[in-house]
Amino acid sequence: MPRERLSVVVTRRLPEVVETRLSELFDVRLREDDTPMTRDELIAATREADVLVPTLSDTLDASLLGQVGDRLKLIANYGAGVDHIDVATARQRGILVSNTPGVLTDDTADMTMALILAVTRRLPEGMAVMQRGEWAGWSPTAFLGGRLGGRRLGILGMGRIGQAVARRARAFGMQIHYHNRHRLRPEIEEELEATYWESLDQMVARMDVISVNCPSTPSTFHLMNARRLKLMKPTAVIVNTSRGEVIDENALTRMIRAGEIAGAGLDVYEHGTEVNPRLRQLPNVVLLPHMGSATVEGRIEMGEKVIINIKTFEDGHRPPDQVVP
């Protein structure tokens, strides 16, 4: 007798090829419009699904996971970060969690470099002048930024993405420094020509550019708090393509306004879409709408990873990208 197909509920619109492939393989309920599900919709979805495919816009906390149906056995997250999922509670309830690491590394690292360049070379200011039709011609003293070559880049979080940033930044002639929970193996440090700082405070105080590339966990919350931001050189800039909660956004805003930090490039925010309005008014701040992994290729590959995780689970094995609390 043919095996009954797994019931899969997808909480957001995904790239069409991914949705088509999912529909060929499983009994799938797709989202009709590109809005996040409400909490009630999410709970209802978990009651009719063997597998839920959420994204970072769905908060699957302990209280929600306490209300899911017995049927739910796998949360196959479409995305690498799982800070929106209480993985420990899911485990207690016998629900596996998987994610999509690796396939968005290069895209996010590219975007990190884009932000570093945009802030240090004052791209938004130049663009604004062109868009307003106010350019009066080349000038020896206009729009002077900083040269990346020779500058010290301090990477906070040296996982896959941090290392990919390091490789790119080296090609721009930057000096690579990093702080991480664990020191990298000597051969990787050597390949990246990266200097390890056990003390984050000491690293922060000496860098020209800080790049936040660590995940959001209770121990990284406000790692860049007001005290640490104050350690930065007034000429230094900070970029974040990871998660907003790592930086105290209000403190950062205050310090940039006061000229105590030279600028920032942010793709993520402490309170989701509620971006501090004062940040939006600063010319030396580049703000993007969480588009670090937004390439056609990356988003399709994320879908392929989700499918492999579900298929492997369906075949009775642990998903290759299982997240363990």
Q: Which residues are at the interface with ligand DGY (CB under 6 A)?
A: 56, 79-81, 104, 292-293
Nearer to ligand DGY, 80 or 210 (CB): 80
Q: How far is the CB of 116 from ligand DGY (least distance, A)?
A: 18
Phi and psi at 117, nearest 5°, equal -65, -40
Which tokens in the block code for residue 122?
Answer: 């004052």
We find the least distance from the C-beta atom of residue 259 to ligand DGY, in angstroms, to be 31
* Residue 54 beta carbon to ligand DGY: minimum distance, rounded to whole angstroms: 11
Nearer to ligand DGY, 59 or 284 (CB): 59
CB 318 within 8 A of CB 312: yes
Give whichever of 150 and 289 is closer to ligand DGY, judged by the CB atom: 289
Q: How far apart are CA 308 and CA 28, in angstroms?
A: 15
Look up residue 308 and give its two tokens. 């492999």
Question: How far is 166 from 188, CA to CA, in rounded Å?
Answer: 11
Closest CA to 205 of 160, 181, 176, 236: 236
Enter the tokens of residue 284.
């030396």
Nearest approach in angstroms of CB 99 to ligand DGY is 7
Nearer to ligand DGY, 89 or 216 (CB): 216
Question: And the tokens for 299?
Answer: 């988003």
**To the nearest whole angstrom, how small is the minimum distance from the Cβ of residue 80 to ligand DGY?**
4
**Which CB, 173 or 289, lies closer to ligand DGY?**
289
Q: Output the smallest distance, CB 293 to ligand DGY, in A.
A: 3
Residues sharing a CB contact under 8 Å with residue 213, sequence separation 6 or more, in sequence order: 112, 155, 156, 157, 158, 159, 161, 162, 165, 241, 242
Contacts of 158 (CB under 8 A, 6+ apart): 166, 178, 179, 180, 184, 194, 213
Q: Which is nearer to ligand DGY, 72 or 161 (CB)?
A: 161
Residue 251 CB-half CA count within 13 A: 17
Strand partners, 224: 247
The nearer residue to ligand DGY, 80 or 310, going by C-beta atoms, is 80
CB of 185 to ligand DGY, least distance (A): 25
User: Which CB sits closer to ligand DGY, 145 or 215?
Assistant: 215
How far is it, in rounded angstroms, from Cα 304 to Cα 302? 5
Residue 202 CB, nearest approach to ligand DGY (Å): 29
* Cα Rg of the chain, angstroms: 22
